[in-house]
A and B are shown apart, each in its own frame.
Chain A
Amino acid sequence: MSVQTADPTHYIEEKLVTGGKSYADVNNDVAAPVEKLPPLRWWICFGMALSAFGLGAILAGIMFARGLGVLGLNQPNGWGVFIVNFVFWVGIGHAGTLISAILFLFRQKWRTAINRSAEAMTIFAVMTALLFPLIHTGRPWYAAIWLLPYPNQRQLWVNFRSPLLWDVFAVSTYFTVSAVFWFVGLIPDLAAIRDRAKNPIRKFIFTILSLGWRGSNKAWSHYEIAYLILAGLSTPLVLSVHTIVSFDFAVSNLPGWHTTIFPPYFVAGAIFSGFAMVVTLLVIVREVFGLKHYITLNHLEKMNKIIMATGMMVGYAYACEFFIAWYSGNPFERFAFINRAFGPYWWAYWIMASCNVLIPQVFWFKKFRTSIPVMFVVSLFVNIGMWFERFVITVTSLHRDFLPSSWRYYVPTWFDWGITLGSFGWFFIWFLLFCRLLPVLAMAEVKSVMPEPHGKGGH
């Protein structure tokens, strides 16, 4: 539906919102789920999420009572599925801020349809991720406090040389900034719902949440500056947080961990997995909430392109690691990588390689990258592959390190899997609540990318 113009260099953007929607339609469509009781499908999903979380919580309770021995950890595998989950969830949490901050700064207007839910996903993913470093410690009741550098009369201090401490700062900063950024973006939409609200309770709650937003020109101009500043603040965090998470591995001296490529490799992987998760969620959300005209195939296709690009970056990193392992001449390093691909955990490596490198290649074809079933399946595979990437990094490096006498296989137990499932439950509880209680699209921003309403029929 592009318009012919005389100037061929003039870029006419494709329509970001289809279906001839008016501003009022946007409000009606987006606010609808907030204003009525959830359908049965939602309750079923919520019930499933709640039971998954309940199972995880019960297992975690048993774990706290009895000790970490219920997990599959051993010597030398000091870290296992919990750390894999931590890195996985932090990685998932990358897409949201990337979409809302970096794409905002680059004036990628198509982001408006997906940024709200992507940011929500980020926050919930980080909330999920934060559970794991805490519960994986032997004494979480102390770890929760002692990793914070607070002044105390015992003159105990934290070790600023430890990457785990950097993690504490990196992830908590990321969480705080993402949450603020998300909330600031929500304010005009919260006010819109407040204004629409007939139910006095809803009106009351949204009045408080919208912080007295009046939508005046002055307010908008301040608001947009604030949003820009926050986008600027968030941007370096997108890079820093996974860089620092990668330091957990890269700073250690374990063959397979001790690698300088880890920061860019981890960031690329995080964006890769984050986008895959966004695609997975949005495919469901646009279907369930009837937002197909706002979250269009066009949006999804763009994301699929990013998935393919980052997937190849990750693939490059895999190859590069092998090259360096050979080129360094370090026999420990060399062994670690051969062992990774052909050792006892070969299966995990090849699951990772095929899910992350091979499968996204289908997106070379427009037919596939615009096919909802294909992209849904591919995004799921990418999620699986990225989980295994972290598994491969964590476990295959640990299980065979320097002294062969201590080499040992690691097998996760039902507690590992149950608590992992619980973390998905926890994530989806929040996400499902978000879908029902807050506008899943940034209404105000979507309107800004729609044709202005003067004159019927549009262009």
Chain B
Amino acid sequence: MQQMDSNKGSEFTPPRHWVGVEELSVDYWSDPSKIEKRGQEFFDKPIETIEKIDQLDKRGLARREFLTLMGASMAMAGFACARRPVHKIIPYVVKPEEITPGVSTYYSSTCPETGVGLLVKTRDGRPVKLEGNPDDPFNQGALSARSQAALLNLYDPDRLKGAGSRARGSERLESKEFKDVDTEILGKLKAIASGSGRVRVLSHPVMSPSTSELIQSFLSCFAAGKHVAYQPLNDTDVSSGQAASYGAPVLPRYVFEKADVVLSLGSDFLGSYSGAVEAAAGWAKRRKLKSADVSKATLSKFYCFESGFSVTGANADERIPIRSGDETRLALAIANELIVRQKRSSYLGDSAILSALAPFKPEVVAKEVGIDPAMISRVAQDLWLARGRGIVIAGGPQTQTSDGVALQIAVNLLNSALENEGSTIDGSNCYNRTQGSEAEFSKLIEEMNAGQVDALVVWGTNPAYTCPDVVSGFEKALGRVGLVVRVGTHDDETARHADYVLGEHHFLENWGDSEAKRGVITLQQPVIAPIHATRSFEDTLLAWMKSGVITPKSGAALVSASKDWHGYLKARVGQITPGDSFWETALQKGVISKGVPAPSARRLNVSATVSGLGGVAPTSQPGVKLVLYSKVSMGDGRSANNGWLQEMPDPISSITWDNYLNISQKLASQLKVKDDDVVRVTSEGQSAELAVKIQPGLHEDSVSAALGYGRRSGGRVANGCGQDLYGLAPLKNGRRVFAGLPVKLEKTGRHYRLASTQWHFVTENRPIINDITFKEFKKNPAQGNHTDPHLRMDTVPSMWPEHKYPGHKWGMAIDLNSCTGCGACVIACQAENNIPIVGRDQVRVSRQMHWIRIDRYYSGSPEAPRAVFQPMLCQHCDNAPCETVCPVLATVHDNEGMNVQVYNRCVGTRYCQNNCPYKVRRFNFFDHWKAYEGPMNLVWNPDITVRTRGIMEKCTFCLQRVRAAKDTAKDQGRKVKDGDVVTACQQTCPTHAITFGDLNDKQAEVAKMTADPLAFRVLEVTNTRPAISYMTKVRNIEPTEHGHGGHEEKGAHA
């Protein structure tokens, strides 16, 4: 009470209950720090401690506080230092109708390079996968490897990001706004328009009717404007030959699905040929066999004479290696055999033809070319028996010899004599790729050199690389042109010589149309807003014409009426069928078919044929000849900056990232070189240094090397990959010669390690590949199966309870007979499944990541081997060896037969990889995704995890696609039916060699194929019970001369 007394004032009422005496003091209640605490019911520390801490505040830390902080800091030390940046998912305020986050949208479009229709899969506004448009009569849903990879070009970090100008001879490109560049260019164009007006547009062949018209409008602004189309790998020989034989320079369509006998004289129609996807589909239709209709089964017969070793040759029933440059004489010898010797065809009575063929006696030519004369008569015989149902085909750089046009004329003569013309050779329903000859291009260079060109706009085509100075003098000639404008996607070789460089859209950012085949227009629509500040070529022309500085004389109305290229195109295409809905429907479908006349046999112009054949020498110069070819992956080199394509193993050599010189073992021994030795290749004064690849099946006097490599300024991926060989191909009389080049080879003593994905090319008599002849197939389709019947999957009893698959049991069947090895599936899988690019050095140490690889094996003699391709991917074994050995259960079996890999759980022991007999598991040795720079990250498919280092991955049977198909079926209230699930590899396969589906559904295509006696399992003896069956390869050859890869060998049965 004393304390109470001491309190000042009477307003203080002490609490009724108190804990400590201090509560009875007024100070206690008036202290603000205590007032704050008073509201608190529970304290984490005794109140005294809290007070003490409060008092200690300024003097340092209390022991408990110190311990708390230390403990916390120790704990915090374990956390990352930087807070992860917060990314908020912002929902659309107004959601676009067609976008549902997480659901893909497909748009139809067109790849202008090849004119094939596309379906572009986009996710959240960005394209993530290209697929063929099934409505396109060209490709019917399939795509080549190069078209698949075009997606990555969109996200290429080396693309031009705007416009710029460059002082002549300078490296530096000065960035400028498009409007400033336009002003400068238009200033010059205005002067030119009022002067002599000699403006040239140099482009790749333009298959777009609308763009062509627009170019013509632009050129009409000038008194003497002209459009020149050029690309290095063109089919001008074919069209020139057609023009000589039949009058019109067309590129005929070859109807392979009707062909019983095919003779290829160096044409790579299954590989690098521009219409390969369509040709392969047709060809494969005649290669599919089913045991069920064995009695009425037919198989086409395919002969191939070639100087290199192409994918096409590898698929031939009989492939005969010849020396480059001998094709024409061989064709004439076959014609001689057919018409003169065997006295067949309607040209028998034609003395001009007979005398033209007279010098090419089959046995003389056969001897000189180094083949069996019986082969010539057999080919002629077979072709004649299948007259009207055969194809003789030549073309491509491999046959672009000095008498390449004569070869085409000889081929036309054969096709006409064999009555194939008008039946399997379709000259009316044909391709529209005839532009782009060297003749026009050479003339342009002459004009440029003569100072007769005031301005040159180079769009797309890259002659400074593909037709370099040593060949054409193009780069020097550019120096004599007053104004050089480059419109392109990269600051490439040609752009280095330009005054102005205008960055162009990728085709997925641009509108367009294409008429690659007569009467079929495919539309191209943008699927993403331009990533960079680029402008399409068409918009550039429109902007110039609409500026008022120059005015077009033709098409002016359309130009002035169109706001932009989109408007121009819409107006122009809309003219086909007036009405609003037409445009919308056409865009959705992607294809407008105008209909074409039925093919009719064209008459061979005999006198032109005879005169065209006049120049062919009956014998050739001896010596080694070089053939330059185009690869399935690289083409002419325009996409050399694409890592997917660079890393795609060549179907024949399995080599990535470089070109090389293919030579025969015999020539290699003569030169004393081995694989990877560098030799100097000199042809007509030009030379290049290439690493050697000893290739079985090459004629000893033929060496071959691929074009499209050795870019000087193609981008950071392209530069330094391989050697540029365009300089070796001379430009003579308006024709480019790529083959039959006399060549001198010298050993340099240096070595260069080529990065190959396959090092061992023989099967070692193992039960991996089954191949039989057609006759054997007719006798017993199951004959090819190597596996000991006692050790087959269906006969070996299981010691353990087997997996139960109550619902689906996914499986695959791969037809070795129609797989051409083209590699489209490899790139499709890479795009679909976020498979990283690893680079040359990593491929050298065998760390490529492709989930599907194409194994290639040879059989027979190394001089004339037979090749077989086997796509190899995870076999999704029932008794999967990988599953039992993983210590953390990161790879497990699901109830639908899939072997699934749990990335998050994987610790990377690589035991599964060791235990996989198929070696299809891929380990992430590094964080390869880190190399994906800038916009490249956008290419990742959001359905698939991007894998980090240290974990294993492998084919998932496109699990995400299975999931999507199930979801769709569920939404539609039905069961998943056969054909709903299409894996990425299957989708793009031009020959439909891959079939996927539910093995539990006995009506499913895949189940029927699996049950076919032709089907076999790889390494069935290991009792892994794979879910993938391969269909035996059936060759249309005589059984006597054939060993079946050694399956007679007893040892292979165990």
Chain A interface (Cβ < 8 Å from any Cβ of B): 66-69, 72-76, 78-79, 133, 136-140, 142-143, 146-147, 156-159, 161-165, 168, 248, 251-254, 328-332, 334-335, 398, 400-409
List, sorted by A's number, 24 A–B pairs whose CB atoms are closer than 8 Å.
A67-B925, A68-B950, A69-B949, A74-B847, A75-B921, A76-B914, A78-B913, A137-B908, A142-B907, A147-B888, A156-B889, A159-B887, A164-B911, A165-B887, A168-B887, A252-B911, A335-B764, A403-B766, A403-B872, A404-B760, A404-B763, A404-B766, A405-B870, A406-B919
Check A403–B918 contact: CB distance below 8 A.
yes
Q: Output the nearest chain B residue to A159 by Cβ-Cβ distance.
A: B889
Q: Is the CB of B1054 within 8 A of A330?
A: yes
Considering only residues 44-84 of chain B, those with a C-beta below 8 Å from chain A are: none
Inter-chain contact B886/A253, CB cutoff 8 Å: no
A162-B885, A328-B1054, A402-B1022 known; A139 vs B846 contact (CB < 8 Å): no
Cβ of B598 < 8 Å from any Cβ of A?
no
Identify which of residues 746-760 in chain B touch chain A, using a CB-to-CB cut-off of 8 Å.
758-760
**Chain B contact residues, majority secondary structure:** loop
In whole angstroms, what is the CA distance A329 to B503 when docked?
A: 66
B888 and A73 form a contact (CB under 8 A):
no
A139/B925 contact (C-beta < 8 A), A164-B887, A407-B759, A408-B846 known = no
The docked-state distance in angstroms from the alpha carbon of A402 to that of B1018 is 10
A75 contacts B913, C-beta separation under 8 Å? yes
- Could you tell me the distance between the alpha carbons of A409 and B884 in the complex, rounded to whole angstroms? 26
Decide if B1019 touches A137 in the complex (CB within 8 Å): no
A404 contact set on B, CB distance < 8 A? 760-764, 766, 768, 857
Judge whether A67 and B889 touch: CB under 8 Å: no
Q: Considering only CB atoms, which chain B residue lies closest to A413 in the complex? A: B845
How far is it, in angstroms, between the C-alpha of A248 and the C-alpha of B1052 when the chains are bound?
27
Q: How far is the CA of A440 from the CA of B845 in the complex (A)?
A: 47
Given contacts A146-B905, A251-B885, A331-B766, contact A405 B847 (CB under 8 A): no
| B926 contacts the other chain (CB 8 A) | yes
Q: A67 and B949: CB pair below 8 A?
A: yes
B: contact size bracket:
35 or more
Nearest A residue to B1019 via CB reads A402
Interchain CA distance A185-B574 in the complex, whole Å: 97
Q: Could you say which residues of chain B place their CB within 8 Å of the CB of A139?
A: 906-908, 950-951
Per the bound structure, the CA–CA distance linking A133 and B763 in Å amounts to 34
Most chain A beta-carbon contacts within 10 A, residue among B910, B913, B923? B910
| Least CB distance, B156 to chain A, in whole angstroms | 25
Q: In the complex the two chains form, is A158's CB within 8 Å of B889's CB?
A: yes
A403: which of B765, B768, B884, B952 is its contact (CB, 8 Å)? B768
Which among A69, A136, A161 has the highest number of chain B CB atoms within 10 Å? Answer: A69
B272-293 interface code vs A (CB 8 A; 1 in, 0 out): 0000000000000000000000
With a 10 A CB-CB cut-off, give which of B853, B887, B1019 has the most chain A CB atoms: B887
Q: Which 3 A-B pairs have the closest CB atoms?
A: A138-B908, A138-B950, A69-B925
**Shortest distance between the CB of A79 and any CB in chain B (Å):** 6
Name which residue of chain B comes closest to A398, CB basis: B914
- Complex Cα gap A411–B683 (Å): 39
Q: Which residue of A66, A73, A254 is within 8 Å of B915 (Cβ)?
A: A254
B759 touches A408 (CB 8 A): yes
Q: Beyond A138-B950, A402-B917, is A147–B907 a contact (Cβ under 8 Å)? A: yes
Q: How far is the CA of A258 from the CA of B905 in the complex (A)?
A: 27
Cβ contacts B210-222/A at 8 Å (1 or 0 each)? 0000000000000
Known: A67-B925, A75-B919, A405-B855. A254 touches B914 (CB 8 A): yes
B-chain residues with CB within 8 Å of residue A401 when the two chains form the complex:
917, 919
Contact B885 A164 (CB under 8 A): yes
Q: Verify if B33 is at the interface (C-beta below 8 Å from A).
A: no
Most buried by A among B761, B845, B856: B845
Supplied contacts A252-B914, A403-B917, A404-B764, 13 more A-B pairs, CB within 8 Å:
A73-B923, A75-B846, A75-B921, A76-B914, A79-B911, A137-B907, A138-B949, A147-B907, A156-B888, A162-B886, A165-B887, A253-B1022, A404-B761
Chain A residue numbers with a CB within 8 Å of B768 are: 403-404
- Are A138's CB and B926's CB within 8 A? no
Task: Return chain B residues, CB-CB under 8 Å to A137.
Answer: 907-909, 950
Is A157's CB under 8 angstroms from B889's CB? Answer: yes
Restricting to B938-977, which residues have a CB under 8 Å from any CB of A? 949-952
Give complex CA distance A372, B198 in Å: 97
Q: How far is the CA of A161 from the CA of B800 in the complex (A)?
A: 14
User: Is B927 on the interface with A (CB-CB < 8 A)?
Assistant: yes
Q: Are B923 and A75 in contact (CB under 8 A)?
A: yes
B619 at interface (Cβ–Cβ under 8 A)? Answer: no
Closest chain B residue to A71, Cβ basis: B925
What 0/1 readout, one digit per residue, does chain B (842-868) give for beta carbons within 8 Å of chain A?
100111100001011100000000000
Q: Knowing A143-B907, A251-B885 are in contact, say whether A405-B758 is a contact too (CB < 8 A).
A: yes
- Nearest-neighbour CB distance to chain B for A27, whole angstroms, equals 45
| B341 part of interface (Cβ distance < 8 Å) | no
Distance A334 CA – B910 CA, assembled complex (angstroms): 25
Minimum CB–CB distance from A337 to chain B (whole Å) comes to 14
B479 interfacial contact with A, CB 8 Å: no
Name the residue on A nearest B1051 (C-beta): A331
Alpha-carbon gap, A161 to B1019, bound state (A): 23
Cross-chain contact B845 with A74 (CB below 8 angstroms): yes
Residues 811-853 of chain B: 1 if any A CB is under 8 Å from the residue's CB, otherwise 0?
0000000000000000000000000000000100111100001
Interface string of B186-216 (1 = CB under 8 A from A): 0000000000000000000000000000000
In the assembled complex, the CB of A289 is this many whole angstroms from the nearest CB of chain B, namely 42
B922 within 8 A of A: yes
Q: Contacts of A328 on B, CB cut-off 8 Å?
A: 1054
| CB-based contact B917/A78 at 8 Å | no
Q: Is the CB of B888 within 8 A of A69?
A: no
**A138 touches which of B847, B885, B915, B923 (Cβ 8 Å):** B923
Q: Smallest distance from the beta carbon of B846 to chain A beta carbons, Å?
A: 4
Please indicate the chain B residues that have their CB under 8 angstroms from the CB of A161 in the complex. Answer: 884-885
Contacts of B915 in A (CB 8 A): 252-254
In the assembly, what is the distance between CA of A329 and CA of B872, in Å? 27
Contacts of B906 in A (CB 8 A): 138-139
Tell me the minimal C-beta distance from A63 to chain B in angstroms: 11
Check if B924 is an interface residue, CB within 8 A of chain A: yes
What residues of chain A lie closer than 8 Å to B764, measured between beta carbons?
335, 404
A-contact bits for B879-891, CB 8 A (1 contact / 0 none):
0010011111100
Report the Cα distance A164→B952, complex, angstroms.
Answer: 16
Residues of B within 8 A of A408 (CB): 759, 846
- A443 vs B143: C-alpha distance when bound (angstroms): 81
Are B766 and A402 closer than 8 Å at their CB atoms?
yes
Contacts of A73 in B (CB 8 A): 910, 923, 925
- Specify which of B846, B917, B927 lies most central, judged by the most chain A CB atoms within 10 Å of its CB: B846
Question: Who on chain A is nearest to B927 by CB?
Answer: A67
B residues near A68, Cβ cutoff 8 Å:
908, 923, 925, 949-950
Interfacial chain B residues near A156, Cβ < 8 Å: 888-889, 905
- The residues of B that contact A334 with a CB separation of less than 8 Å are 1051
Considering residues A137, A161, A335, A406, which has the most beta carbons from chain B within 10 angstroms of its beta carbon? A406
A69 to chain B, nearest CB (A): 3
Given the interface pairs A157-B889, A405-B872, the reply to whether A331 lies near B1054 with Cβ below 8 Å is yes
Task: Report the separation of the CA atoms of residues A44 and B1051 in the bound assembly, to the nearest whole angstrom.
Answer: 59
**Do A253 and B881 have beta carbons less than 8 Å apart?**
yes
- Residues of chain B within 8 A of A164, CB atoms compared: 885, 887, 909, 911
Closest to B848 in A: A75
